[in-house]
Chain A
Amino acid sequence: MNNEEKILKYFSDNLTKEEKITFEKEIENSEELKLEFEKMEKILSNLKNNSEAEVDDKYFINLMPNVRKRISKENKFITIPRLAIILPLVAVILITSFIINNSFNSGVSFSLNDNSEMLSEVLEEASVNQLSEYLDLNLTGGETDFAVLSNEIEVDEDNLINLGKSTLKSFDEYELINNLSEEEVGEIYNKLLKTKFL
């Protein structure tokens, strides 16, 4: 172990008790080692002296007020993003539950009653394509029961009659509907419901 290593080990407390005693004896007996030791001692003491400085006390006086400002700012900053996430989420949940609720509760009747104009258009179109085809091919006789029909598609009976009249008069076969059986009318409207409303 050279002198430098011994000195560094001494200052870093890397020597055993015995090694330390031996080293201290060596210093007393070796001028060279003593000089090197003192040099290292001086370096360390200078470093410590250099770190002691007169400072502006205002900094430490203002430190806590600055920290408190930052804490309250951070708290606000945390609250805003939380609201930014929570509010749209609540809005989405409310809208979704409103839509789902309406769909489940009112079903087709809601759509039909509240959208009679649309229904009229759809029936008009559908009756031309489907009803006339059906009537041409498969008239079996019997009477149309608008009560059953209205029940099938869950619309008001009077509305359905009016709607049917206005729809079928376009191709002048309205009276033929009276000859349809319940089954046939049901089948037609089920088709209409499936293709147009479901």
Chain B
Amino acid sequence: MAVDKDTELIEDFLGGNDSAFNKIAAKYQQKIYWHARRMLGNHIDADEVTQEVLIVIYKKLKDFKFNSSLFTWIFRITTTRSLNYIKKRQAKKFLFFLDEEQKEIKTTEDIIKNVEDKEKMESLQKVLNKIPAKQREVFVLRHFDGLTYEEISEITGKSTGGLKANYFHALKKVKELINE
């Protein structure tokens, strides 16, 4: 049913109703943001990726072939952008010798206002940030976004066997980090 609604919205948008895109964005923006946030670890970067993803969707929606669901397509863009952003950030850190202090300054802006929630989120991010990016991606998609291996496979293009192995190693790392 959700897919049909998406198809309707896409056709409406492609038919010239620009405001139909607002409905698509409203439906997926939180999913995009939280995936990016868990992958990147702070609001500023997650916001940047979320906006980038929405811009890409807006520009590329005319090329959407309906070969997959809109949800899968959007998540494919989101995961790719998030991983690319991590790579860019690492390169930047390496080139400009950014230290942890500079990183902390960057993370002061946030949409989480409640102090307790903020602390919980920070402790989660400390763990997630220590998991290698590709394992983190599978862990976030399965554990937090609630996707099945088959859905993740469709998004990432990896085999379910490989994804299971990644998830296994991510879990092992999480356990080690929590027990530290």
Listed in ascending order, the chain A residues whose CB lies under 8 Å from chain B are: 4, 8-9, 11-14, 40, 43-44, 47-51, 53-56, 59-60, 63-64, 66-67, 70-71, 74
Contacts and interface: CB of A to CB of B under 8 A. Distances in A.
B143 A67 contact: no
Q: Is the contact region of chain B dominated by helix, strand, or loop, or is it mixed?
A: helix
Given A43-B174, A54-B117, 6 more contacts: A14-B164, A47-B174, A60-B29, A63-B54, A64-B25, A74-B55
Contact of A8 (B113, B143, B175, B178): B175
The DSSP consensus for interface residues of chain A is helix
Interface residues of B, number: 38
B26 A64 contact: yes
Interface in B103-142: 111-114, 117-118, 120-121, 123-124, 127
Nearest to A67: B54
B19 to A, nearest CB: 10
B172 A8 contact: yes
Nearest to B18: A68
A48 B144 contact: yes
A50 B124 contact: yes
A9 B169 CA distance: 10
B168 A63 contact: no
Interface of B: 22, 25-26, 29-30, 33-34, 38, 47, 50-51, 54-55, 58-59, 111-114, 117-118, 120-121, 123-124, 127, 143-144, 149, 164-165, 167-168, 171-172, 174-175, 178
B55 A67 contact: yes
Contacts of B30: 60
Contact of B118 (A40, A53, A64): A53
Contacts of A50: 120-121, 123-124
A56 B113 contact: yes
Contacts of A64: 22, 25-26, 29, 54
A64 B28 CA distance: 11
A8 B117 contact: no
A63 B50 contact: yes
A71 B58 contact: yes
Contacts of B26: 64
Contacts of B113: 54-56
Q: Interface centre among B47, B113, B168, by most A CB within 10 Å?
A: B168
Contacts of B33: 60, 63
Nearest to A75: B59
Contact of B164 (A4, A13, A47, A67): A13
Contacts of B120: 49-51, 53
B144 to A, nearest CB: 6
B121 A8 contact: no
A14 B30 CA distance: 30
Contacts of A44: 143, 171, 174
A78 to B, nearest CB: 11
A72 to B, nearest CB: 11
Contacts of A13: 149, 164, 167
Interface centre among A9, A14, A47, A49 (most CB of B within 10 A): A47
